Amino acid sequence: MTTFANPFFFESPSGRWSFTDREQLLPALSALLGQRGRRLLIYGRRRMGKTSLVQHAAAKAGHVFIYADLSTAASLTEFAAKLLSAAPKESDKRLASILGLARKHLKSFAVAAGKFTLSGELQTEEAKQSLDQVLNYLNARAELDDDPWTVCLDEFQDIRTIGGDRAEWKLRGLIQDHRHLNYVFTGSDHRLLAWMTEPSAAFFKQLHQMEVGPIEAGHLARWIERRANSGGVPDFPYGEAIVALAGPCTGDVVRLAKVAFDLAAGGRTQDLVPTAFDAIALVELNSEFQARWHGCPLTHRAVLRALAAGLPPTAAKTLRQFGLSSASTAQKAVESLIERQILARDAGALIFDNPFFKRWVSFNGA
């Protein structure tokens, strides 16, 4: 009996063996991680592969890389605690001298097995300064090493959710003198680039920028086929069809490849890719999409149905067909759906952010 091992993982950033391409971005990113005092913004649509890229580059470069995801923290204090615990373990030899540095910068901390953690009640007034304390400490600590240190703040747009509307300004003030640390900000919110770089923005003219776009379709298709072969399916001629149906986001492509692999391993050949696509859109994600749909007011639903049917949402005929009262109502719904990242603009065209949701709407949205 053949044993199959599904080689496709869409659930977490791709690891060392499941990473492909990014040949142009990796050298630039690696070079930056080897310096000091650099500031980089990595942006791109959701599920494109930003986190995978940055983590892969850091693992390859081998310098100190302190990563924390803002979307997983409920407060700046909790985020500070995460950052500190992501710092490397200190050797016994250095611990005594580093303790002095920690005492200077951190009001309340504990140390065990070479790792520093924030201690004490995290909700106090004093604790509110803990992000400042931790970043100042990391900068001072980095100065002691020959090896460069990088701090990566992933899902950076969430700094406003947990730190308030102008939180990035406060951060800018804090880190502008941190010459010993590199900072990498990453995020997928379409507003992030504007928040960070327009003339009135906190980091105007202070950031290198790197856009993570789609992996070239032919490359991705061949990679999928080779991986399917390595997982135990020698005949898997579906790479191109998978990339074409899933669209540009790497995570969507890998998700579709995973289900297509299972179908192929089960012996299916007919309509394999569309069947896999529907299994995700109409079964796997059905409850999530139902909840999303029920959370949409009627005007949003009408716009989504029009777009799923391939019709321009503000055209007179569309308005009549879907019962939208005016073009401005439709336009407002479009803007709000973009804000909610249900729709996206791609090279000027209005598209569903998630290709599986588009399919769900056209199947169920009547």
Ligand X SMILES: Nc1ncnc2c1ncn2[C@@H]1O[C@H](COP(=O)(O)OP(=O)(O)OP(=O)(O)O)[C@@H](O)[C@H]1O
| DSSP state string for 327-354 | HHHHHHHHHHHHHTTSEEEETTEEEES-
What's the min distance (Å) between Cβ of 101 and Mg ion?
31
Q: Is 47 in the site for ligand X (CB under 6 A)?
A: yes
Select 49 or 148, whichever has its Cβ closest to ligand X.
49
Closest CA to 184 of 156, 218, 160, 143: 156
- What are the percentages of helix, strand and coil residues in the chain, rounded to 5? 55, 10, 35
Closest residue to Mg ion, judged by C-beta, is 51
* 8 Å CB contact between 191 and 338: no
Q: Please give the helix or strand (H or E) that residue 264 lies within, else none.
A: helix 250-265
Query: Dihedral of the CA atoms 297, 300, 306, 309 (nearest 10)?
Result: -80
Q: Which stretch binds Mg ion (CB under 5 A): 51-59, 135-143, 202-210, 226-234?
A: 51-59
Where is 117: in which H helix or E strand? strand 115-118
Does 46 interact with ligand X (rule: CB under 6 A)?
yes
Q: In what order do the strands lie in the sheet with 149-154?
A: 64-69, 149-154, 181-187, 39-43, 208-211
Nearer to ligand X, 187 or 365 (CB): 187
CA dihedral 7, 11, 15, 21 (to 10 degrees): 80
Q: Any contact of residue 354 with ligand X (CB under 6 A)?
A: no
CB-CB contact of 39 with 207 (8 Å)? yes
Which lies closer to ligand X via its Cβ, residue 212 or residue 265? 212
Using rule CB under 6 A, residue 219 touches ligand X: no
Is 51 a residue that touches Mg ion (CB under 5 A)? yes
Stretch that binds Mg ion, among 47-55, 124-132, 229-237, 336-344 (CB under 5 A): 47-55
Q: Tokens at residue 324, please?
A: 């939208």
Residue 45 CB, nearest approach to ligand X (Å): 7
Q: Does 14 bind Mg ion (CB under 5 A)?
A: no
- How many Å apart are CA 322 and CA 352, to the nearest integer? 18
* Residue 250 in contact with Mg ion, rule: CB under 5 A: no
Give the number of C-alpha atoms closer than 13 A to the C-alpha of residue 170, restricted to the C-beta side.
Answer: 14
DSSP state of 114: T
* Residue 10 interacting partner from Mg ion, ligand X, none (CB closer than 5 to 8 Å by kind): ligand X
Give min distance, CB of 156 to Mg ion, in A.
10
**Could you say which of 39, 50, 300, 305 contacts ligand X (CB under 6 A)?**
50
Q: Is 21 in the site for ligand X (CB under 6 A)?
A: yes
Q: Which does 19 bind (CB under 5 to 8 A by kind): Mg ion, ligand X, none?
A: ligand X
Stretch of residues binding ligand X (CB under 6 A), selected from 8-16, 74-82, 171-179, 306-314: 8-16
Among ligand X, Mg ion, none, the one that 47 touches (CB under a kind-dependent 5 to 8 A) is ligand X
| Residue 157 sits in the site that holds ligand X (CB under 6 A) | no
Q: Which residues bind ligand X (CB under 6 A)?
A: 9-10, 12-14, 18-22, 44, 46-52, 188, 250-251, 254
Q: Which residues bind Mg ion (CB under 5 A)?
A: 51
